Every structure is written in C-alpha cells, then in structure tokens.
Structure 1
C-alpha cells in the first residue's frame, strides 16, 4: 500500500512540475529586409519652356505694364509693330530672351512668338528648326493641321489647344494654344503661344 501511494505521489509531482514549466516563446524567423521601392523620378517642368500660358514669369493675359516690369520696354521703339499700336503692338522687349516677340492687344499680352534664331523650346521639347513629322508623332490626335496661308505644302500650321480649342477658327478669349508654323522644308519657322491671336497670320495687320 505504501509503495503504491508513493508511486502515485511521484506521478502527481511530475505532472505538476510539467504544468508549471514556463515555455520560452519561439522567436519568428527573421524575414529578409525588403528595400523600399523607389518611384521613377519625374523630371520637373522646365521653367524656361514656352507653354500655351506663357514663358517663365510672363503670362498670357497680363497687362503691358506688368510685362514691362519683367522684360522691359520695346527694344526698338521706333519700329512699327502694328498700324495702331494702341490697339495692337508687336515687339521684342529689351530684357526678353533673344528672338522672342510679344503681342499686346488693348493693353494685354495675348501672344508670345519664337522667331528664327530662337533657342527656346516648348514644354513638349519643340522649337524653331524641328520637323513637323516629329511634332505630329509627339502630339498625336491633339494636333490640328491647317494649310499655310502663303506657302504650298508641306508648309502648314499645326495647332495644339490645351484649353478651349477646336478644329475650326477659335474665338473664345479664354482658349490657350500653341501654333507651330511650318515652312516649305517641313520644319518649324516660328512658334506662337497664347490666346486665339495665335491664329493671326500677319501679326497685328
């Protein structure tokens, strides 16, 4: 009887010891550190690129007085920019980039033009000397081609209207666009940016 009791007691003690044993937590397998995924860098817009809205700090729709504060007065005040300068005047401001002309209508900047020799590009990377084919490929269906008024094909006018454009003559003063004037060699002769005045083929005339 004593031997049986001792055996039962020993079993009870072993069970109690097993229940009170503290099990150490198993550390999870360390996962391999995953490097953060970096987004591809997006190049910042060139502040010196010509857009439908303007060039640098000069914006379509600003007053002549504000333009003069930034780019200065007409570099050739004796030159005739238009038959009625009070209504429409076209000139090169003294502090403007080389070969850049502005059009002022009723005291407001309506158009900026890159003429032959200009090195400035549009926000799409095109300027004087670039091919019409490259422009059409880049813009796709956003470009509107029209025959050139004075030259035979391949001369033409290529219009891109980011705001308020159409396939016909645009009259909405709030519209903004870029016109690539293509010469007989199929390359850009001039670039005009601004409101519907970019459609005028003879400047202020």
Structure 2
C-alpha cells in the first residue's frame, strides 16, 4: 500500500533488533536466480536511483503520471507510474522525494528482483538466493518481516522483501529497491 512517506515510528515496546539470516547449507539455488529483468540495485532500467525528477520521463522513455495528490511542498514525497491506456498492477511505482528518484515498488508477480527473488517465493528461497546477505527486521503492522539486502556490488541501493510471516514457509508479498532512508519507509507516500 502506498500511503505516507514517513519513516516508521518507533514502537512503544522494543522491537527485536535486525538479525542477519544464515543461508541453509544443503539446498540448491532457486532457478529464478538466473533470470534478470529491468530491476536492479541501481534503478529500474535506465531510470537510475538519484536522478532528478525532471529527467524521469526521458530515462523511462515515455510519459509518467502522478499517483495521488500533489505533494506539499512541491518536491515532497510522491509516486509516478507509467502512463498507459490500460494501467497494470505489474507496472513499477517510482518514488520521488526532494526532487530526486529514490525508490521503486513492485507488487506484481511477473517482475524479478535483482538477484532472482520474486513475489510468492518462500522466505527460505530468498535466504538461499541471497546467502549471508539477508537482514531480517520485524514488520511494523503484521506478523511478517522485512528481508533487507544491500547491493552486493557496494552500491547505495537496498532491496527489501516484505513477507506475510516469519517462518521458512512465509511468502514474499511485495518488494522494493531504493536508497536509505526512503527504502525503509513502511507506508510509501500519501
């Protein structure tokens, strides 16, 4: 859900600190790891994280439309999506804040995350795809988790998978890539 561009409020009760998740040893990597699409740790296709908002349509190669009301102030947090006759849930949502592209969100099942993760995969599949890279954080509103993965090439981008639970059978329900702190906003923008 794309609601408000604010970092999560610290809960009154202390949440468990983020913990690295060790990869299981004897399992083979998931086949999806070999698939690569437009999604990357540095951006989405030619739309690179950090570019000015004014350059977004040229980088995308087409028109983009704002989602929701205009932000206050004008360079406040907001989302853009590809402008199409028939908009699809598969389209990426591009977050802008401070006049720059800072994050993209994926809610459709067809898109593959950098490294091979996908919506619908089990938590255990994600841990195998990203060995010794997953930092698990408790979800702010559900029993799920945020599985956070830094760019293995040392770039500034961070990949976050949201799961519907905490066990190995929990499934990925959404994912996003962006720059801190915006990648860690839990409700998107309003």
TM beyond 0.5: yes
Higher relative contact order (CA 8 A, sep 6+): 2
- Give the match for residue 179 of structure 1: 160
Deviation at 1:192, TM superposition (A): 0.8
Provide the C-alpha distance between the structure 2 equivalents of 1:91 and 1:118, rounded to a whole number of angstroms. 20
Q: TM-score, normalised by structure 1?
A: 0.63
Long gaps (5+) in structure 1: 1-43, 166-173
Moved over 2 A (4+): 70-75, 77-86, 95-99
Long gaps (5+) in structure 2: 1-33
130, 145, 151: which is aligned to 2:142?
151
After superposition, give the CA deviation of every residue in 1:50-70 in whole Å (9 maximum; x if it has no partner).
121111111101111211123
User: Could you tell me whether the CA contact under 8 Å between 1:99 and 1:118 is conserved in 2?
Assistant: no
Deviation at 1:91, TM superposition (A): 2.9
- Give the match for residue 177 of structure 2: 193
Deviation at 1:93, TM superposition (A): 2.5
Structure 1 position 128 matched with structure 2 position 109: no
Provide the C-alpha distance between the structure 1 equivalents of 2:46 and 2:149, rounded to a whole number of angstroms. 22
After superposition, give the CA deviation of every residue in 1:151-177 in whole Å (9 maximum; x if it has no partner).
01xx10000012699xxxxxxxx7321
Provide the C-alpha distance between the structure 2 equivalents of 1:136 and 1:81, rounded to a whole number of angstroms. 38
Aligned pairs for 1:7-156 (under 5 A) are 46=36, 48-71=37-60, 72-75=62-65, 77=66, 79-80=68-69, 84=73, 86-94=75-83, 98-115=90-107, 117-152=108-143, 155-156=144-145
CA-atom RMSD, angstroms? 2.9
Q: TM-score, normalised by structure 2?
A: 0.67
Deviation at 1:78, TM superposition (A): 6.7
After superposition, give the CA deviation of every residue in 1:118-146 in whole Å (9 maximum; x if it has no partner).
41102211121111110012212111000
